[in-house]
Chain A
């Protein structure tokens, strides 16, 4: 196994160096719009994980000899088929929460990890590496979404997981999509700053 494709490198890339939200800018729309509390962030993380994992794993069996033009339709069709049992099961597990996501739940079918990253990264790897990469990409995404949802809830509503914190001032505009964009931009900058600081400290 080459250094570039080592398990450690794949995990580090998926979680940190190419974190889907904080670095690569993938699947941002549902984060910015729906993840404004910790609970809604948890719902998004769960639904994203289920749809993305099963769609990518099933899509990896689509033969490469089929032209890309047709393959991409098959990927989204598989996503739409995975969506059907997912929505039924998740609706019974977390009733009411799925409907709060509105159109952003079915939109996960065409998320950029499935459309773009599958062809450029995932499907070029061996099956084992691919599964590892997908799993840690999803973990990286979920961790970032949960943390983001919690911070956004604290700043915009003064609560954490629904419990009042007694904040002296709240920024209620952060609940809106534009506030979500600004907060996500700040979070991405902070993440890069911390990463560079840790990297420099490691080099010294």
Chain B
């Protein structure tokens, strides 16, 4: 029972309290690119969640194999990039072999959903915060879903942020940053802010 509770808390924390975009700004540049096109949002979301889940499992084994030492910060990024590259290439090969239609669809954006700060950052965060394989896996899924939530919340207001009604200086990108900041403040309040009466 405690294991299930820990898993739920881990995933919930990753989606809301430690949302990759709103709490840590990881993958913001990717969000700026992806939120422009709402058509690919579902595919992109699935792709990111799948990749973060897969790499988090492999990160667990890499952490056990290489361990955490005083010098591991020097070579661990290289290990994580090899893991990320392997998941990316195996996924593409499997899709190409077994689901060619899906391969054609996903080929356009799978590279951006694999090689971004959100995915690589999730590997470092999971490595710091999790201990068991289940925690690694569900934290990975949580981070992926949290990123999708952030992209969705941005995409639904995209037209308004880029509307001609907005002052020219703020229109588009500047307003997008302010919007993420305001949402970030709300998420921060949800996770760590306490009022003293």
Contacts and interface: CB of A to CB of B under 8 A. Distances in A.
Interface of A: 23, 25-29, 32-33, 68-70, 72-73, 76-77, 79-81, 83-84, 87-88, 103, 106-107, 109-112, 115-116, 173, 176-186, 188-190, 192-193, 196
Interface class of chain B by DSSP: helix
Given A84-B78, A193-B169, A73 B178 contact: no
Interface in B150-197: 167-170, 173-185, 187-188
Interface of B: 22-30, 32-33, 73-78, 80-82, 84-85, 88-89, 92, 111-112, 115-117, 119-121, 124-125, 128, 167-170, 173-185, 187-188
Contacts of B119: 110
A116 B33 contact: yes
23 contacts: A25-B29, A27-B29, A29-B25, A72-B111, A76-B85, A77-B85, A83-B77, A84-B75, A110-B116, A110-B119, A177-B25, A177-B184, A178-B181, A178-B182, A180-B181, A181-B25, A181-B178, A181-B181, A185-B175, A185-B179, A185-B181, A196-B168, A196-B169
Contact of B28 (A25, A79, A182, A186): A25
B184 to A, nearest CB: 3
A106 B180 contact: no
B77 A180 contact: no
Nearest to A197: B169
B174 A185 contact: yes
Contacts of B32: 25, 28
A181 B2 CA distance: 37
Interface class of chain A by DSSP: helix
A103 B125 contact: yes
Q: Which of B22, B73, B80 has the most CB of A within 10 A?
A: B73
Contact of A76 (B33, B84, B121, B173): B84
Given A106-B124, A189-B169, A29 B174 contact: no
